[in-house]
Amino acid sequence: MTTPAISGPTAPPRRPVSSTSSFLLAAIIFLIIFSIFRAIFAHHETTYERIAREMTVDLQNNDLAGVQSFQNAETATLVNHAVVGSDADAFAPLGKVQRVRETSATPDETARRIHDFDVTFDKGVVHESIRFDPDNKVIAFKYQLPTAQ
């Protein structure tokens, strides 16, 4: 007994997947997973890091009003053109601010509301210590410039 042939189009032969296509697909999947991972686990700037960054940029730009906006009412009167100008002269040669990271603080410093930061510029890293009042206004600011190499 013979089976009659089924008429109609036949499926085209399958083309083998090339190694280039496989590599490209794997690269795209890797980039998607990497982007998702980075978005989830990337460092997000804290309130204190934002204040430190913005105040440092204002100091670097010799912006007295900008610096005073981060001070409380008492310390704003102590910040003048001479202080800001001196800090601007110190920060200007370092280039643009790249990032600000808050470093770990001891429990005693947390109680006194002192926050330490490493501010990375194009040409060095500056360590800053900022003491905040309960309203997150700056009441003390110190920094250590990078040593010449």
Dump pLDDT digits (tens) for 41-78: 666 788 899 999 999 999 999 999 999 999 988 888 88
| Assigned CATH for 47-144 | 3.10.450.590
Q: State which H helix or E strand residue 139 sits in.
A: strand 138-144
CA distance 54 to 136: 14
- Given a contact cutoff of 8 angstroms between Cβ atoms, the answer to whether 95 and 123 are in contact is yes
Q: List the domain boundaries for the chain.
A: 47-144
Confidence band for 147, pLDDT divided at 50, 70 and 90: low
Mean pLDDT over 116-122 rounds to 93
The predicted model scores a pTM of 0.66
Cα 124 to chain centroid, rounded? 16
Task: Look at residues 145, 102, 104 and name the one whose alpha carbon lies nearest to residue 126.
Answer: 145
- Given a contact cutoff of 8 angstroms between Cβ atoms, the answer to whether 109 and 85 are in contact is no
